[in-house]
Amino acid sequence: MTRLRNQKSKLNCENCPSQGAGVFCDLESLELQEVSQHKVTNTYKKGQTLFVQGNHPYGLYCVSSGNIKLSKVGADGKESIVRIVSPGDVIGHRSLFTDDFYGATATALDETKVCFLDKKFIMKVIKEKPSVSMHIIEKLSRDMGAAENKISSYHQKNVRERLAELFLVLKESHGEKLEDGSYHINLKLTREEMATMIGTASETLIRFISEFKDAGLIAQEGKTIYITNEEELLDWADLPNQ
C-alpha cells in the first residue's frame, strides 16, 4: 500500500502574491495567521471549475494567482462572461451574503491558486474586523459600478466602441507596459470568450479586431494582444469624461 505522501504546503497569507490587493491585507500578522490556518488552498488547472451556477454557496474564494472567468449560461445554452477575476479579488461573496445559489460558474482561465474560507469563519472575521468588511464593501461597490457600466455600454454603444472599451479594461486589469510604450495584455482569451464579454458574435468580433489591427490600435500574436495606441483606443471607446 502506498502512503499518502504529503500534506500540501500551505500558502501563508503573509506571503501571498496578491499581498496588498486582497480583502485581508490590512489584518495584523496574528490575525492573518488565523486566516492562514483556517483556509483551504487549492490549485485549479485551466478549465477546472471552482463552482457551478445554481449550486449552493460554501464560502468565500480568494484568488492568490491566476485568472478566473465568471460566466452565466442562459436558457439557450449560450455562455456570457460577466467578469474576469484576478489575484487579490474575491468571488462567491455575493451569494454568501444573499444566501442565493451561485449566479455564475467560476472557471480557471489558467493555472490558478485559490484560497477558500467557509461561511461561518468569514462571517466571524467580518464581524470582528471592520477592515475586512470595508474591503468587501469596496469590492461589491466596484463590481456594481462595473455592472452598471456594462449595462449602459450595451444600450448606448456599438460593437466597435464596446470592443475598444474592453481592450482598455483589460489594459487596466492585466496590462504590462513595454519599453516601446505599448501594453501587453497578460491574459489569454479566446475570440468566443471576448465576443461574449461584449455581447456580440465571434464573426463580428473577428471583423472588428482586424479593423483595430489595421488602424494600428492593437497588435496580436496568437492569443496575445498588445495595445499599441491607447489614445486612439480611448477615442474609439467614446468613454464619458475623457
The three-state DSSP-derived secondary structure of 78-104 is CEEEEEEECCCCEECHHHHHHCCCCCC
Give 61 or 167: the residue with its C-beta nearer to another protein: 61
**Three cell numbers, residue 222:** 496568437
| Distance (Å) of CA 173 to CA 18, 128, 156, 184 | 13, 31, 23, 11
CB 174 within 8 A of CB 86: yes
Minimum distance from CB of 129 to another protein (Å)? 16
Give 43 or 133: the residue with its C-beta nearer to another protein: 43
Confirm or reject binding of residue 31 to another protein (CB under 8 A).
no
Minimum distance from CB of 4 to another protein (Å)? 5
Q: Cα–Cα distance between 230 and 165 in angstroms, integer? A: 11
CB 115 within 8 A of CB 62: yes
Contact with another protein (CB under 8 A) among 124, 157, 184, 188: 124
**Three cell numbers, residue 173:** 486589469
Confirm or reject binding of residue 177 to another protein (CB under 8 A).
no
Confirm or reject binding of residue 102 to another protein (CB under 8 A).
no
Contact with another protein (CB under 8 A) among 52, 146, 147, 178: 52
Residues lying near another protein in the complex (CB under 8 A) are found at 1-4, 6-8, 10, 38, 40-45, 48-49, 52, 55-56, 58-59, 116, 118-121, 124
